[in-house]
Amino acid sequence: MVAIFASLKWRLVTSRVRALSPGKRIQTIIGLCLALLAVGAVAYALSTLRSVPEAGYLAVTGLFALQFVAWTLTPMVAFGVDETVDPSKFALLPIRPATLQRGLLVSSVVGYLPTFNAVILIGCAIGLSFLGWMLPIALLCVVLQLVTCVVFSRAAATSMATLMSSRRGRDLGMAVGFGVLVVYMLATLGLNSGSSAGLGAAAHRTAEILSWTPPGALASLPFQIATEQWGRAAASAVIALVFLGLGWFWWARALRKSLVTVDSDTASSAPSHGIGGASAIGGTLLGTAQVVAGRDRTLMWRDPMRRMPWLISIFMGVAWPLIVIPGEGAIFASAFGALLMGSQAANQFGLDGSGLWLHLVAFGDRVRARGELLGHNLAVLVPAVPLVVVVTAAVAAIRGSWDWFLPAVAMNLAIIVCTAAIATWLSVVVPYAVPQSRKSMFASSIAGQRSASFRSAFGSMLLGLAAALPVIGLGVLGIVIAPVWSWAALVVALVYPPVLLMVLLRRAADQYLSRGSEILAVVTAGDRA
Amino acid sequence: MTDHTVGPGVSGGLPSYPSTRASDPRTAEAALAIRGLVKQFGEKTAVDHIDLDVPVGSFFGLVGPNGAGKTTTLSMVTGLLRPDEGRIFVAGGDVWADPVAAKANMGVLPDGLRLFERLSGPELLSYLGRLRGIPADEVQRRIEGLLDVLDLTSAGSKLVADYSTGMRKKITLAAALLHSPSLLLLDEPLEAVDPVSARAIRGVLSDYCAGGGTVVFSSHVMALVEELCSHVAVMADGRIVASGELSAVRGDAASLDDAFFHIIGGQDRGTEGLSWLRSSRA
């Protein structure tokens, strides 16, 4: 039975490659080989740590802990990556839970990611073995580490299967995913900001604490045996094995429960409290724009799929200049936030998915088509423009760079509006589908349309920046030559980008009217993802 | 030619028309007239040169087996799928050459497309009504009436994402009726709908038709078509194989079901090959 599971997983993995066209298959295989080479290089680097026993022990302890956290959190952030994760798919088959559990364990270690993990773990095992006879012990430890990761990942996935099969559960998963991203970024920034001497001491302290956790215990076990710390070694072995046993028990319980309970959570969302812009009436350009902007504003707040990019943009817009970039020049780093927020106007039709039909059957005239696009832009620019100005002012105040406030704010205004203008135009020229019931905060495009989503997202940012160059140039003159150029930059920033927006918006609206049905066909693919 | 004509210069556009009005006077009299409509997907011809006239005030059923081309036809009629050839007239106006007038006259219920899921039912209707330019207080009045008749008032401020299949069909029907169109185009309006919701939908449609509106709907359920429709068209392999008043299409057959089976050339299949199904537990 276990062999059937392994062969099933192998078929799933290889059939994805077989289903590709010959060109893409070769690309994929080359990509996988390159990835394996890169992973092999990391493993080799880790293996060289055996010449510096202490460094090897420190690095591997941290790596094991990180690996364990990543495996356990993955189901929450990216549930649905693996077809065999959802236990309800096996509920109707006549298999005993214990057999199923063993089968799933084996199938879990078949695949690209487990293979890459195994290669890195072998590197770790060599890195830990500064004495030759330690290698078998280290290898046993890395096998246990991989099994522990898989068992806890599966236990978490199984426990959450019911939750993640419901819309509310997926909403929660996205919120937790965002929390993880923020904590990760802050932790990385915190580590990077320390001095190198402080970092060494901190790493020692962290490794000492981590060595009492199960993954850390496995990483430090060979070192403890080699240095004859028998008491600590025994404690580490007990910690690791008991933890693995608990994980196995948790998984077994979750599996039994998921096989006999209904696979859905019927909890509904909080009731709505009214739609934005409820007094606006469509028909005219501004009226239609207000109606559409009101709906967008409501959905931006209510729909995690729309809310999450905003949260990330705002977080990056604030964190980048204030936390990452030191000194007075940070004020120009606020342009990053402007760029991200301007690009929120990208793929305006993909976000609605096949719901776009409601707009297509409602009107067929230019005025309302322009009104719809203007509405989408207002929903982005009305909150984003003041926000960027406030962030720029805050950075100027905190870092004492008021001299550069004028050119910086002019550049940011130009970047945000120009990016929105280009994004609006690309929404019509390169529309792409967005998975409508997405199970991961990072899944923003579907197979077969990745190129379109890449062109749209990066095209908006690069062309947006290029379109803002006249204002950026005047701003640079204001800094380098004379402040009067900064005033010129501000005046141009207040006139030129809105004109560009209206010109591109008119072109986009005309194309939207003539290509509406083709755009609908493209974005409808998101329903099936 | 109006501003909205899809000209030959536009990518994927139709050939330019001599006029947005049809030269055939019969198309002006019909609620919906289709002439020479064609749609191909790769090698497969999904809709193959069909002509159809739907009289004003009729309850028109479009029936056919799976893959016959019903949804493709209705998608082209509603302006959601561009035809390869042919013309479609709603109240005499060309749907693809003069979409403004045609869309104001149509109410649409497609099959399998999403709504704006994170709005509540009343919010969705309010949004669509105001987008069409109906004053807010009038929209509110119509919403209250529609929700009451379709038994959706109790759903209150629940989001559409949490609606059942029947509720989704009902709220989409309400959206289709909101602007009081003269023609309703409904793709499988009663598919997977519970009997109580189905009854409410049937009642609304019958009243709408009695009031002078025209309904075109596709369905697999022959009994339903027989009960509701005054006219019927049978599609098979992308063609209209029979069309006209219900009694004429049914002819001498015992039921529309039998007539349909005969028209599309269906054959009863024996079940001898499944003898193991009732004789053995192995």
* DSSP secondary structure, A403-463, as one string: GGHHHHHHHHHHHHHHHHHHHHHHHHHS-----TT-SBTT--S-TT-HHHHHHHHHHHHHH
pLDDT in tens, B214-259: 999 998 888 888 888 999 999 988 999 889 998 888 888 888 888 8
User: Which element (helix H / strand E) includes B89?
Assistant: strand B85-90
Residues of A within 8 A of B119 (CB-CB) are: 272, 275, 295, 298-299
What's the mean pLDDT when you consider all of chain B? 85
Position with higher pLDDT, A262 vs A16: A16
DSSP annotation string for B36-68: EEEEEETTEEEEEEEEEEE-TT-EEEEE--TTS
Highest mean pLDDT among A24-33, A159-168, A273-282: A24-33
Structural tokens at position B188: 């499988």
Contact A365, A284 (CB under 8 A): no
pLDDT tops 50 at residue A250? yes
The confidence score (pLDDT) of residue A348 equals: 92
Cα of A276 to nearest chain B Cα, Å:
9
The minimal CB distance from B108 to the residues A294, A353, A361 is found for A361
Distance CA A405, CA A400 (A): 10
Q: What is the pTM of this model?
A: 0.78
Put simply, whether A267 touches B (Cβ < 8 Å) is no
Put simply, whether A193 touches B (Cβ < 8 Å) is no
Cα of B233 to nearest chain A Cα, Å:
24
Contact yes or no for A299 and B156 at CB 8 A: no
DSSP state of A267: -
Residues of B within 8 A of A299 (CB-CB) are: 116, 118-119
Angle between helices A469-480 and A450-467 (to 10 degrees): 40
Position with higher pLDDT, A180 vs B194: B194
Residue A444: pLDDT band with limits 50, 70, 90:
low
3 state DSSP class of B232 = strand
The confidence score (pLDDT) of residue B184 equals: 95
3 state DSSP class of A203 = helix
| Closest-CA residue of chain A to B156 | A271
Cα of A498 to nearest chain B Cα, Å:
24
Contact yes or no for A515 and B12 at CB 8 A: yes
Distance CA A392, CA A472 (A): 15
Residues in contact with B173: Cβ distance below 8 Å, sequence separation at least 6, in sequence order: B109, B150, B186, B189, B201, B204
- How many C-alpha atoms does B174 have within 13 Å on its Cβ side? 33
Contact yes or no for A517 and B6 at CB 8 A: no
Distance CA B260, CA B163 (A): 34
Tally of residues, chain A:
529
Position with higher pLDDT, B277 vs A67: A67
Position with higher pLDDT, A463 vs A96: A463
Structural tokens at position A437: 């019931």
What's the mean pLDDT when you consider all of chain A? 85
DSSP state of B8: T
Residue A83: pLDDT band with limits 50, 70, 90:
low
Distance CA B144, CA A494 (A): 45
User: Which element (helix H / strand E) includes B107?
Assistant: strand B106-109
Distance CA B64, CA B259 (A): 12
Contact yes or no for A295 and B126 at CB 8 A: no
pLDDT in tens, B18-71: 455 556 777 778 899 999 999 999 889 999 999 999 999 999 999 988 888 999
Question: Nearest-CA neighbor of A363 among A351, A375, A350, A346?
Answer: A375
Contact yes or no for A268 and B158 at CB 8 A: yes
Residue B14: pLDDT band with limits 50, 70, 90:
very low
Q: Which of A188-192, A237-241, A412-416, B173-177 has the lowest mean pLDDT?
A: A188-192
Contact yes or no for A366 and B4 at CB 8 A: yes
Residues in contact with B152: Cβ distance below 8 Å, sequence separation at least 6, in sequence order: B121, B146, B167, B170, B171, B174
Distance CA A292, CA A376 (A): 7
Contact yes or no for A362 and B133 at CB 8 A: no
DSSP state of B82: -
The confidence score (pLDDT) of residue B12 equals: 43
The confidence score (pLDDT) of residue A282 equals: 84
Q: Could you identify the residue written with the tokens 């185009």?
A: B185
pLDDT tops 50 at residue A222? yes
pLDDT tops 60 at residue B16? no
Question: Nearest-CA neighbor of A348 among A505, A117, A170?
Answer: A505
DSSP annotation string for A140-160: HHHHHHHHHHHHHHHHHHHHH
Distance CA A155, CA A196 (A): 39
Of A171, A174, A272, A437, which to mutate for an interface test with B (greatest number of B Cβ within 10 Å)?
Answer: A272
Distance CA A276, CA A293 (A): 8
The confidence score (pLDDT) of residue B15 equals: 45
Q: Which of A53-57, A300-304, B54-58 has the lowest mean pLDDT?
A: A53-57
Do the interacting molecules here have an ipTM over 0.90?
no
The minimal CB distance from B82 to the residues A291, A352, A518 is found for A518
Position with higher pLDDT, A221 vs A447: A221
Neighbours of B139 (CB within 10 A): 24
The confidence score (pLDDT) of residue A449 equals: 77
Put simply, whether A517 touches B (Cβ < 8 Å) is yes
The amino acid at residue A432 is: Y
- The predicted model gives A235-253 an average pLDDT of 94
Contact yes or no for B120 and A272 at CB 8 A: yes
The confidence score (pLDDT) of residue A134 equals: 87
Tally of residues, chain B:
282
The minimal CB distance from B130 to the residues A274, A282, A360 is found for A282
Contact yes or no for A295 and B118 at CB 8 A: no
Q: Give the dihedral of Cα atoms A419, A424, A430, A433; nearest 10 deg.
A: 110
Put simply, whether A514 touches B (Cβ < 8 Å) is yes
3 state DSSP class of A216 = helix
The confidence score (pLDDT) of residue A489 equals: 94
Distance CA A36, CA A39 (A): 5
Contact yes or no for B108 and A355 at CB 8 A: no
